[in-house]
Structure 1
Amino acid sequence: MSGLPRPQLRIGLFGAGRVASQLGPALVAAGHHVVFVWSRTAPTAESLAAQLPGTTVLTTLAAPLPAADVYLLAVPDAAVAPLLSSISWPAGALVAHLAGALPLSIFEHQPTVRGGVLYPLQTFSPGRAIDWPTVPLCIEANDLTAETTLLDLARSLSQHVRRLDSAQRLKLHVAAVFANNFTNHLLGIAEALLAEANLPPALLAPLVRETVDKALANPPFSVQTGPAARQDAPTLAAHQAALAAHPAWQALYGQLTASIQAQL
């Protein structure tokens, strides 16, 4: 990152999965020290720690935690609350989760810690490198000192950092599911339909790229095309018939058609 030097932070990293395995090296590259990695699966923690200079594997949550400036919970959403309650945190510890849908209020039952959120708005998959400077990082904290530390940490990783409250972050997370997860699922359906016709997925690549580029350059509802947008009843009926062997996809086609037409 450009600008003034930022303080090196000591990080305690809980988790060694998709997010943590990308975040750990990024933290080191930004000049921070990952003090330890903990995971419910010891081999994954060992594998990640081996990539991070000077990082140890935390093997038990029963002992006092090694000192850190920030403890990051890069674990599944459902594991955050149990993990918070199972650890004897140092008084005044700054603990931040990375979840989009979990509110800051999850820290209310841990009055001795300073709670925060460091939510990376990105999809993480094995074998896919993340360009961290382009990743929006969303910050929330329950006190000003914690917020300042998390902002410094976020700005050392990304050029796109913003403060969001829990309600905004939840709405953003829902939007991200529509934009990413649901879109990916629809592309999977499209690929399966092409396979049934012995057609290559690459046929759709130019169309998909143009669709995304156009939607990013314009309000997406304003550039909607296709048989639903033009009220092409014969084509819609033909498509429904073509999907007869896939009742779930046929129903989804009907629901999406209705949703498109409701926006006209």
Structure 2
Amino acid sequence: MASPLSVALIGAGNVAWHLGRALEQAGNHVVLVYSRTLVKAEFLSETLLHAHPTQNPDFSLVAADVFIIALKDDVVVEFLKKAVFPRSSLVVHTSGSLPLTIFEQHAAIRGGVFYPVQTFSRAVAMDLKQTPIGIEASTPDDVSLLKNLAFSISEKVFDLPSDARKVIHLAAVFACNFTNHLLGISHDLLTQQQLNFTVLQPLVTETIQKAFAHAPFQVQTGPAVRFDQKIIEQHQQLLQDKPDYAEVYALLTEHIQKKAQEIAKLDQ
């Protein structure tokens, strides 16, 4: 492992929570935790060895090799306008959607990206060793430094330019956020009937494993891809009193059937 680095965490939410602990466990030094709400910064700092909590965005006296901004995407640009960093500091964000170019208006700092392709929940313990981390920076030296930091917590580190990162983030929304929402619908339907959601766990696990072993569209199953109209109508009847769920069901059924027809034409 390369020499440990000192890190300042800008943010005290889910991403900062997991990154801070992982970085420290890997031997790096988390020297500061910033949050607009001091109590949140204090709460995270208490779980770390030497981190100083603050709600002051003036970091001019903070000695850190890397400042990691782990804030909501829609506040990062405005935060950069008011934050004060030591001159020539390396400041990176963890966003999947924000480009590296957001740092161009801040000539006094060096910009970069440290993007973990993962979903974070504070209450769920996580080993980041298998979490891919995409790196981007303006200079080879900064890329190297960020890769060393990333490799201290993950085995999967790679160069990831802004355009590709946006596509990965979009795909991740479908694969993670939308999938979780659909699981939420399944959970709701079952619990309303006092049925155990875990009955679906083997099915969901097999679906995910199969999706990464084959092209997902090619292994689609279910009444929609079979064009089993009788079953589809039965499902729609069950959803009569849940119009929002019925709308989702109809949209996905239509899209599955459309994709199946496209694949069938290609196979002819």
| % identical equivalent positions | 44
Which moved further from structure 2: 181-190 or 50-59?
50-59
- Corresponding residue pairs, total: 260
* Whole-angstrom distance in 1 between the partners of 2:187 and 2:48: 38
Aligned to 1:23: 19
> In the alignment, what sits opposite 1:193?
189
- For residues 58 and 173 of structure 2, the distance between their equivalents in structure 1, rounded to whole angstroms, comes to 36
- Residue among 29, 34, 43 paired with 1:38: 34
- Aligned-pair CA distance for 1:49: 1.2
Match of 2:264 in 1: none
Counterpart Cα distance in 2 of 1:59 and 1:208: 42
Note the alpha carbon deviations across 1:104-154, whole angstroms, 9 max, x for none.
111111112111000111111122111111110011112222111111111
The answer to whether the Cα contact below 8 Å between 2:62 and 2:86 also exists between their aligned partners in 1 is no
| Per-residue Cα deviation, 1:31-79 (whole angstroms, up to 9, x for no partner) | 1111111111111111211221122123422462312110000111112
Aligned partner of 2:224 in structure 1 is 228
Q: Give the TM-score taking structure 1 as reference length.
A: 0.95
AA paired with 1:115? G
Counterpart selection for 2:123 from 121, 127, 146: 127
- More divergent stretch after superposition (186-195 vs 93-102): 186-195
Question: What's the CA shift string for 1:14-46, capped at 9, x where partnerless?
Answer: 111111111111111111111111111111111
Q: Does 1:108 align with 2:104?
A: yes
Structure 1 segments (4+ residues) deviating >4 Å: none
State whether structure 2 residue 163 is matched by structure 1 residue 167.
yes
Does 2:81 match 1:52? no
> Is contact 2:41-2:55 (8 Å) kept?
no
Root-mean-square deviation (CA, aligned residues, Å) is 1.2
Q: Which of the residues 84, 90, 108 maps onto 1:94?
A: 90
Q: Confirm whether residue 184 of structure 1 aligns to residue 167 of structure 2.
A: no
1:61-98 Cα distance to aligned partner (Å, 9 max, x none): 24623121100001111121111111222221100000
Q: Which residue in the other structure is 2:214 paired with?
A: 218
Cα distance in 1 for residues equivalent to 2:244 and 2:259: 23
Amino acid at match of 2:122: P
Q: 1:10 aligns with which of 6, 10, 23?
A: 6
8 A contact 2:14–2:120 mirrored in 1:
yes
State how far apart, in whole Å, the 1-side matches of 2:84 and 2:129 are.
34
- Change beyond 3 A, Cα 1:232–1:226: same
Aligned match of 2:266: none
Q: In structure 2, what is the Cα distance between the partners aligned to 1:255 and 1:59?
A: 45
Distance 2:119 2:59 in 1: 34
> Could you tell me how far apart the structure 2 residues matched to 1:228 and 1:73 are?
43
Give the Cα–Cα distance (whole angstroms) in 1 for the partners of residues 50 and 193 of structure 2.
54
Structure 2: distance between partners of 1:63 and 1:222: 52
Q: Is the 8 A contact 2:59 2:86 kept in 1?
A: no
Q: Letter of the aligned partner of 1:35 in structure 2? A: V
Structure 1: runs of 5+ lacking an equivalent: none
Matches within 5 A, 1:237-252: 237-252=233-248
Counterpart residue identity of residue 65, structure 1: L
Q: TM-score, normalised by structure 2?
A: 0.93
Q: CA deviation at 1:169?
A: 0.5
Gaps of 5+ in 2: 261-268
